[in-house]
């Protein structure tokens, strides 16, 4: 039976790479009930070949925040000013001529309830940083740049307003700086020490060197997207490189208590709408399948995180199923969710 599922999964992945926009796909699946493990790939992405996981990085940052909370180094409701200088944060949250920067907490940033604007996807002067990168205009930036750009944009709403949430990469840029201050080390070193090495991940690392050609190049529509300088700049909001099998190891560790006490997971599941059909909790994302994705079969909810690169790391608690990998396509955010749902239909 497992061999048959593996063959069908391979055909599913291969069929997707027949399309010009998807030159390479990697998919790993694990099911706890029978320990079914599938590693499938096609095109220019061997299953053990590293790729950019983009915003799936945020799940790794969430793990570190929870580790620090357990150790008493921070609390989720700490004001940011407990960990970063007020002078650094001043003016980062401006809403209707009022500065709410001192009201921001760790939890606000984790859950995207801060109301902070998004330095990456919001437009300034008619174009966003994302838009420039999609045109192939590669560039690099620092945390200080991201913070400055955030300060130049108006906030979306005051921190913690009702059930509002607004997905902003600025949140995790700042969380990365909080971690660096607490650990007295750069975020790449902290990730290696707290996550990669304890889990034995040898092909997972924070991308910091644009001359490193190891990760598979991204794709935008039907063409390669060469933005390696930009990929060195995302850091805590999207800079990790990994493989589908190593993402699977991390995802299982995240949900099975190997990185922190799993009893805190339920506290993360405080869902707010961000981008249909996605909802966001405290550092984790929920994908509840719209009926038109699967009109004839009710699909279980998936919890984890996706990335703009087409990367995904999701867990279905109802079935004990984990799915990780990438479609490696920036221009079609729905493609990764469609692949996961088709894979779930096979199991």
Query: Which letter, b or e, does each residue of 209-218 get, where b requires 16 or more Cβ atoms within 10 Å of its Cβ?
Result: ebeeeebbbb
Model confidence band, residue 293 (pLDDT cutoffs 50, 70, 90): low
Mean pLDDT of 197-222: 97
**Alpha carbon 265 to its chain's center:** 17
Phi/psi region, residue 151 (left: phi>0; alpha: psi -120 to 50; beta: rest), is alpha
Model confidence band, residue 5 (pLDDT cutoffs 50, 70, 90): confident
State yes or no: pLDDT of 110 exceeds 80. Answer: yes
Q: Contact, 177 vs 80, CB < 8 A? A: no
Helix then strand count (H, E) for the chain reads 11, 17
In tens, the pLDDT along 120-172 reads: 999 877 889 999 999 999 999 999 999 999 999 999 999 999 999 999 999 99
In tens, the pLDDT along 250-283 reads: 999 999 999 999 999 999 999 999 988 899 999 9
How far from 269 is each of 9, 156, 160, 285, 301, CA to CA, in Å?
30, 23, 16, 9, 12
- Segments of the chain assigned to CATH 3.40.710.10: 2-56+202-346, 59-188
Q: Determine what percent of the chain is predicted with pLDDT higher than 90.
A: 89
What is the predicted pLDDT for the residue at 1?
A: 47
CATH code: domain 59-188 is 3.40.710.10
In tens, the pLDDT along 38-94 reads: 999 999 999 999 999 999 999 999 999 999 999 999 999 999 999 999 999 999 999
* CATH H-level, domain 2-56+202-346: superfamily: DD-peptidase/beta-lactamase superfamily (3.40.710.10)
Alpha helices by DSSP H, 197-278:
228-231, 244-256
Mean pLDDT of 186-190: 98
């Amino acid at each position: 039976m497992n061999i048959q599922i593996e063959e069908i999964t391979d055909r599913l992945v291969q069929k997707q790479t027949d399309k010009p926009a998807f030159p390479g796909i990697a998919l790993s699946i694990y099911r706890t009930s029978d320990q079914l493990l599938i590693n499938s790939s096609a095109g220019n992405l061997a299953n053990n070949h590293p790729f950019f996981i983009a915003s799936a990085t945020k799940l790794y940052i969430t793990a570190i925040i929870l580790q620090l909370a357990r150790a008493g180094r921070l609390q989720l409701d700490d004001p940011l000013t407990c960990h970063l200088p007020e002078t650094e944060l001043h003016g980062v949250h401006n809403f209707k001529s009022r500065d709410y920067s001192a009201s921001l907490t760790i939890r606000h940033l984790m859950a995207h309830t801060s109301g902070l604007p998004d330095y990456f996807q919001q437009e300034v002067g008619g174009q966003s940083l994302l838009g420039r990168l999609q045109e192939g205009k590669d560039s690099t930036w620092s945390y200080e740049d991201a913070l400055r750009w955030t300060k130049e944009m108006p906030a979306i709403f005051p921190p913690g307003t009702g059930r509002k949430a607004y997905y902003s990469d600025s949140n995790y840029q700042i969380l990365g700086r909080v971690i660096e201050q607490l650990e007295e080390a750069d975020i790449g070193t902290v990730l290696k020490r707290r996550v990669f090495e304890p889990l034995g991940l040898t092909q997972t690392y924070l991308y910091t060197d644009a001359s490193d050609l190891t990760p598979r190049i991204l794709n935008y529509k039907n063409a390669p997207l060469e933005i390696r300088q930009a990929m060195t700049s995302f850091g805590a909001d999207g800079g990790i490189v990994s493989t589908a099998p190593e993402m699977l190891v991390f995802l299982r560790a995240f949900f099975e208590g190997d990185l922190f006490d799993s009893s805190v997971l339920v506290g993360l599941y405080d869902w707010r709408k961000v981008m249909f059909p996605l909802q966001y909790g405290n550092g984790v994302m929920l994908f509840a399948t719209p009926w038109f994705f699967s009109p004839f079969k009710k699909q279980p909810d998936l919890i984890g995180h996706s990335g703009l690169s087409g990367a995904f790391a999701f867990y279905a608690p109802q079935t004990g199923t984990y799915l990780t990998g990438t479609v490696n396509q920036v221009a079609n955010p729905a493609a990764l969710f469609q692949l996961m749902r088709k894979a779930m239909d096979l199991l």
